[in-house]
Structure 1
């Protein structure tokens, strides 16, 4: 019997991971001791259940707390590339949560993803571009598999930035302001999310072609892949079940590669809003993760969704857990 090695790569939006006494966004938004203990117990149990080789996190405020938790769970390699920002008046109130990644295997490299100047010039967006949450680009050597480049992301949310300052002396319930938020504001949010995705996509495809690295883009995309803002990320590269050109590049939703996807009537939602489910969290992969190609690098791949903590009937967030499912791929070499 031929032995095989299991690898598991996961992503999870933690929902405001801010250890007491820190607050998130507003002074009154924080955990009491009981809520925080419940959250830590929940997260510990979930990570133990997933047993990831590599896991990406979103909405991280308390970096050191998460790092120590991961170390205790056998994930000693940990990276972030940014830090949350405190309120200038109330330093216990934090803004701008960050992306983090933890691993059982050492990083070859781990750094902030820098936008390509030539791409920004092409997109006519050269001035003061910043990601809403800076992605992490990291590389690994997986024994039996080879080099792997991972992009841990959290794209711009669908939340609209207020335009009230543009209509001086207008009340918040001004019908014109509401209309502008629903149209211009929503479009601006989509443009920002699409620009961030374009930068990651361009970098990932260049990495595939120039370094011949297997590639994963994983995280909270804050939109569905079929949306106009993100559909380009997989549009030209469907899963190949016939021999493909050896130099082909592209990304595919790993759910389509998975040996077990036939067990699901549809792809499981990773987030619920007002009782409606959407897939917002993704793991996109290069061709090396396709077990159906002519000369596969892996023996098989399963798609895993960890959503038992989600209550579709809730209309508000339960900060003790998360409003997102964790998603993962499990593969064997």
Structure 2
């Protein structure tokens, strides 16, 4: 992959007012939401996946990381923040309350090794808000996906999404999800390979096992995308213009099949055997109400290339998103609010700061302007 050139550079954390703050407190009333993957938010003494000395924080490292998170929250100035890779939930709750977020939800516990309670094997997600969280629930099952696909009956989310209903000023009750899809990387049981003594056979077996694991992780993300899409359709059943926002690390690129499953953004040429041009005019609007929208594509952009949101291990890619319902699409004449800005806070990439003290992901921030006038009638 060629070297990345960062196109948007926020002011340093120690500088004066951030340009976003000036935008927020002008004539417009806006609502800002962010997705923020924290990279192994686990207090010292908790190990990441394996009990090894380098896979936990020293006290001074932890203090530095928490300070960077607090400073970043101050700079991005979001009203609602969806977090991923949360292990020490209560510690994060304390940090965000001090940072000005009195409302916090995280309802799924991280998972630890059965024989070692200090080694976590899977993190969880959380949401912090300046506005009241009216309800919070974990999204658990794949029931409808399993019934209609080839998935195993035991399939479920790698990390269960968190769904919150938040009372947002001027926008009203807004459904906000924090999601973290199955991680990339074809991981399998090393013992399958390690027991083979002949190296040629061992290497041959390694490739086959990696292939099987690759199929599993790609299909898992696709299923997660489909299950979450069906969940949002439930949110929109009673009100197709309701504001819904998915914030998260979806572990796929913008043009991936996984993202197209979630957004249903692929072109429609026919409905069954009926060409789209022959669909009655009164029903054509439904091609928009049943879609979700990558917030990056909604406002105009100055940059020629989309900024990456993940940078580690000599890889750079776009994995983090704000996905919104049609009720927040500025092109929808009946929108409740409009996405007017999309940003990526990637200063720590440019400064090449250690990812354990910051994050290997860049927060994605979307600005929504609630509607002031009456929406157009259907």
TM over 0.5: yes
Instruction: Indicate the residue corresponding to 2:309 in structure 1.
Output: 270
Q: Which runs of structure 2 are paired with 1:316-327 in the superposition (5 Å)?
A: 318-327=355-364
The residue aligned with 1:252 is 293
Any idea what the Cα deviations from partners look like across 1:131-177, whole Å, max 9, x if unmatched?
11110011123221123112210000112221545568226972213
Task: Give the whole-Å Cα distance in 2 for the aligned partners of 1:168 and 1:306.
Answer: 42
Deviation string 1:90-111 (CA, Å, 9 cap, x unpaired) is 3222221111111111112110
More displaced 10-residue stretch of structure 1: 302-311 or 172-181: 172-181
Q: Does 1:332 align with 2:344?
A: no
Contact 2:142 2:156 in 1 (8 A): no
> Using the alignment, how far apart are the partners of 2:88 and 2:365 within structure 1?
23
2: CA distance, partners of 1:108 / 1:25: 34
Distance 2:251 2:266 in 1: 21
Deviations 1:247-304 (A, max 9, x none): 8221111011124x2x111111001244442100011111122223334433651001
Is 1:228 the counterpart of 2:265? The answer is no
Residues 278-293 of structure 1 aligned to structure 2 (within 5 Å): 278-293=317-332
Mapped to 2, the partners of 1:291 and 1:229 lie a distance apart of: 24
Asked whether the equivalents of residues 193 and 206 of structure 2 are also in contact (C-alpha less than 8 Å), the reply is: no
> Which aligned pairs between 1:128-277 and structure 2 lie closer than 5 A?
128-166=154-192, 169-170=195-196, 174-212=202-240, 213-236=242-265, 245=285, 248-259=289-300, 261=301, 263-277=302-316
Partners of 2:155 and 2:76 in 1: CA distance? 36
Which stretch shows the higher mean deviation, 36-45 or 15-24? 15-24
Deviation (angstroms), 1:189: 0.8
Which whole-Å deviations, capped at 9, do the CAs of 1:19-60 have from their partners, x for residues lacking one? Answer: 112222222211111111110110000001111111011111
TM-score of the pair, normalised by structure 2: 0.78
C-alpha distance in 2, partners of 1:101/1:134? 13
Secondary structure of the corresponding residue to residue 277 of structure 1: strand
Contiguous gaps of at least 5 residues in structure 2: 1-25, 268-281, 371-378
Partner of 1:301: 340
Larger radius of gyration: 2
Q: How many residues align?
A: 324
Structure 1 runs not aligned, ≥5 long: none
Q: CA deviation at 1:311?
A: 4.8
Structure 2 distance, partners of 1:196, 1:57, is 18
